[in-house]
Structure 1
Amino acid sequence: VHHFCLLLGFGVNAINPYVVYEALGDMIAENMLPDIGLDTAIENYNKAVLKGVVKVMSKMGISTFKSYRGAQIFEAVGIKKSVIDEFFTWTDSRVEGIGLDIIAEEARRRHVAAFPRFGSSGAALNTGGEYQWRRNGEYHLFNPRTVHVLQKAARTNDFETYEQYAELINDQTESDRMATLRGLLEFVDPEDGGVPIEEVESVETITSRFKSGAMSYGSISKEAHEALAIAMNRIGGRSNTGEGGEDPARYMLEANGDSKNSAIKQVASGRFGVTSNYLVNARELQIKMAQGAKPGEGGELPGGKVYPWIAKVRQSTPGVGLISPPPHHDIYSIEDLAELVHDLKNSNKDARVNVKL
């Protein structure tokens, strides 16, 4: 799907994945796809690719192929500017990297691995571990060691163990441990030209802009949902309720001064848990028009997860599945959206109102 999206985004009119079709024919001949004909296999493949491309388009708010084709709504990471200018003209590339020499060498090595000089031993090709951790594959930040140390720190509540985990994640100075763009960066000492600490924003100012992701009560547990709210309130940030409402009991301060009240409260297509009490206890109201993980698809909380306490908060019936429609059925124009913004401002004049697209 990634290759299809890139080719279409760079302007091709059509794609003929003939090697895939030949591979499907071989798989059927080898009985790797039993009880299915070649025509059906090709149809299934085309359908899956189309669905993937349409999903990528929807994430960018594009609804027609004419608008997507040639739009180049992506940027390159790790490719030299000279290569970008010659072969991917007008594509953004903020972080340069490899050139044609390395690209050619990597292609040669893959070819040698697939077609060895003295014939194949029949062994499967090495997966390389690009997407999933493999013992002798690409380095991943989340590997068995880091996961083990993190779990140990959480279970024992030991800060020293957590510091070991943090070092494993943050220290990417060794070339064989680089896994992120920030691994290429290092702090510059003020004496060597860095920004004086007096000119840097305070910790409190920085953390006041921290926001946690919108995850609904019901999709995650009560403990996790409340822990996020407490943590963000402690550092002066803002947690987000998601679209599942919030227990009114959380609007009261805890005995130790902690607050479980999420600063950002969502108003989504299902309007689950949206009451006047819910709205007036927000510092920020968010109209959820789309979901980043699956835009254009809406959402569903299966009936098996709608426990009595979940149903009470969502103003619904226990055991009955709850569907969030893809669109808001009262918003079909800019004017409709403006009306909802107006209503929310009247419900809580002190809260900021934003729209999640």
Structure 2
Amino acid sequence: MANIVIDRIKKSFGAVDALKEVSLNIGDGEFVSLLGPSGCGKTTLLRIIAGLETSTSGDVRIGGKSVVGLPPKDRGLAMVFQNYAVFPHMTVFENVAFGLRMQKADAGRIKKQVEKAAALLHIEPYLDRYPNKLSGGQRQRVAVARALAVEPQVLLMDEPLSNLDALLRLEMRTELKSVLQASGTTTVYVTHDQTEAMGLSDRIAVMFNGRIEQAGPPVEIYSQPATRFVGGFMGNPPMNFIRLSVQNGAVALGSARHPVPQFGGTEIVLGLRGENVARTPLEEGLRLEVRVAEPMGSHLLLTGTVEGQPVRFILPASETVKSGELIGLKPDLDRLTWLSPETGEALSRPTA
């Protein structure tokens, strides 16, 4: 296996900068997701790592060796695509063996590696079948098995589960995590689905507008977003952002005042996850004007306004709240995020 160093990679298409000096270190055997909305540059970065796209400047090193200028076949990697890309005229065995045959592996190694990869992906019963006799989830398993059979240093995956229905995605996500933990392959995974990224990754690199906004473990990305974009992109519902007035270094959170980081402004933005509140008497907490109350089975989702600003909060399913009601909510003071209204960047926690 191998580590990957992405060093100040820039990619321009004419006057448009698709990537703006992106840097990221990926450890040996680590699973890192490139997460972000369409057009953020995540697939362009993956294609540069793969050698399918040429960077304008910067360096990519795999296992300590620069791969800039090397063709994809000489980079020691394999790719799994969104559309499976299995060969319909080949059996599952021949599909899984394809990369090994391109390497001119001997028959004994081909048989051993195909059987090993098939066992990992639980497709041993289908080795003699053709792809048209398989389900979508089974075809995707074949594509992953073909990539793993060549024992690549690096596995690159571009939205590999997006063509599957919801139940199959959940099943494949579980299988994929188990398989890649067993193989120890360094993996870079492109997705726009935060649930996939949270569930699969050792670390997530959240991308926006050609830059990495934040890179870190999933729980850290979720609970301590570095920017307003990260907080708003991660989570369902996304983080609430409430603009509050600062007086004497503190803001009013219901009947109490709470210290905020010193940054010199008269207003600050409070970032608050929907689940990090509890119901409290109206005079003691944030005043939520409930517009819609939606029982979701496991919880109650409330949509409304605080200080005239749109918010969504989650309460236990046992709570009774009606649309149009005015209720008090007490924030968990250990889980507040403070952001600059001007830059959208997170501020350090207050010392008091």
TM bucket normalised to smaller: under 0.3
* Normalised TM-score (structure 1): 0.21
Between structures 1 and 2, the one with greater helix share = 1
Between structures 1 and 2, the one with greater strand share = 2
* Normalised TM-score (structure 2): 0.22
